[in-house]
Each structure stands twice: as C-alpha cells, then as structure tokens.
Structure 1
C-alpha cells in the first residue's frame, strides 16, 4: 500500500471530525476540489485504508456486556483449520496470530460470565486447540483511536502545495 501523504491525512482527520460529511463539505473545508476529494476517498477505500463500517458498532448495544481476551495455544500444523473453526464462533470478534508463548489472541464478547464460559468451551472444542487462557477486560482505558497517529503522521508528511491543488 502506498503511504498516505499530507492531503490524505488531512482528509482522514476531516472524516474523523465529521463521519457523515459530504465530499463537497470536505472539499470546501480543506480547500480542495470536489474531484480531488472524491478521487482521494475512492483511493483510500480501494487501498483498504478505511476499515469496514461494522468496526463502529458497539457490541454492548447488542447485549454483549463483557469483553475478554483469550490466548490460545494450538497444534501448529492445524492452524488454518483452527482459524476457520474459530471464525465460526460469532462472539470471536477479532483474532491475531502472535509470536511468543501463545499462538493466537482472540477478542471475544459475551452477554455475561455464563456466556463467556460457553464461548471459552467452544474455543477449546475446536480441533487442534490445545489450551486457552481467558482474561476478562475490566474496562477500556484507551479506546481505539487514530487521531493522535494521524496528527503525528501529518506532522511527519505535511501537504505540499502540489498535493493541495485539485
């Protein structure tokens, strides 16, 4: 993926500030042409720089009050099948492959402690999962954020006069 330039960063910051803003509004606010903003938005979407909308949905609104992290130890040769099996568990909302003593880190959501127990059992029932350790998230202390990173990136790569011309 091509690195974002200063204009891309300014556009993303405007999108964070006004997620429902229009191309015309962003063009006016940033001093860019409508065509430039539209082309940049299309490029950001096609390059995968914008996450899917479902990342904005809070599981609490669906009744999933608990968040937990499960570190999973697996039989490595079965990893692709294990990942497929874990993906069948709806409450597994994210999974990462890890280096170090654990193989996978799962972020799961649950309605309550009993539901978390059921989900943990479903994880352990996936063929090839050797063991799992569950940690309950007690509270989010730094919510998912991109603005500080965008601002730092913008300082590192300010827009040039050429980039700001539509």
Structure 2
C-alpha cells in the first residue's frame, strides 16, 4: 500500500502552521517523490539489523524513520531491504544516514529520503532500538505522529492532516 495522494508540503505548512519542519538535509532517492504516513521509528548506528527486521513486517502504509546517527560511513538501506519494504506495504523510509543501490531505489514504488548515498553496507550486530522518540534535523519524531514529504522538504504533524 502506498499513499499516492498528491501532497505539497508548502501548502500543508500554510494550512497547518503548527507542523514541525525538518532541517533541509535530505535527498529524494525513492521512486515516490511525495509520500506520507504514520511514523514508526528505529535508532541505530552503522548496524541495520533493526531496519531489516522492520521491513520484514507489515508496514500498513507507515513511514519508517531511522535515526542512523547521521553517519556517512556506510549505507543503512539498499535495494533488497527497499524491495522487502515495498512488498510489505511500507509507504517510505526516511534515513538520517545513507542508502545505496540508488538507481534501483529510484525505480521502486516507495518513498526514500536520506542524507546521501554510500556503497559500503552496514554491520549486522543486532543493535538498535525501535518505537522510541528520535531527534535529528531539529525535530523530535515520535511513533504515531504523521510525516509528510516531497521535494520541498519533510514535515511532521501530531495527527493525520486532511489532504485536498
């Protein structure tokens, strides 16, 4: 399931000035340039074991928000995990870190925003935390909040916003 209703974050910001706006650090890598959904979180550093675990579970249209510590030393998501996320109904992944296999990511029907790309894979030590508050890009993101993203940026709302 993908959330394909056309969203425009500037319009949402105008209509809902209470939303939080993430610092403009992210680049669109996925096949969906605009996406939204309820937030589910992971906090990990250079170990994507929890990301692999999450995308293997039903996403139900949620956005997986990964606080990877802003690392630029390895990729935390690649083509195989992104394909699994698509198959399991995730709307998107927002990665405060890097991704790889970017040409394949761009062809998949999923939103992916990240800090950059890196060819090296991450470690697999089974470390990390899920479903906790994470803070990066000037915003604290909480499970259950709603995230909206497009080429203009990423915003977070306390609840689902009405769309046009």
TM-score relative to the length of structure 1 = 0.24
User: Which structure has the highest strand share of the two?
Assistant: 2
* Max Rg structure: 1
Question: Larger % of helix: which?
Answer: 1
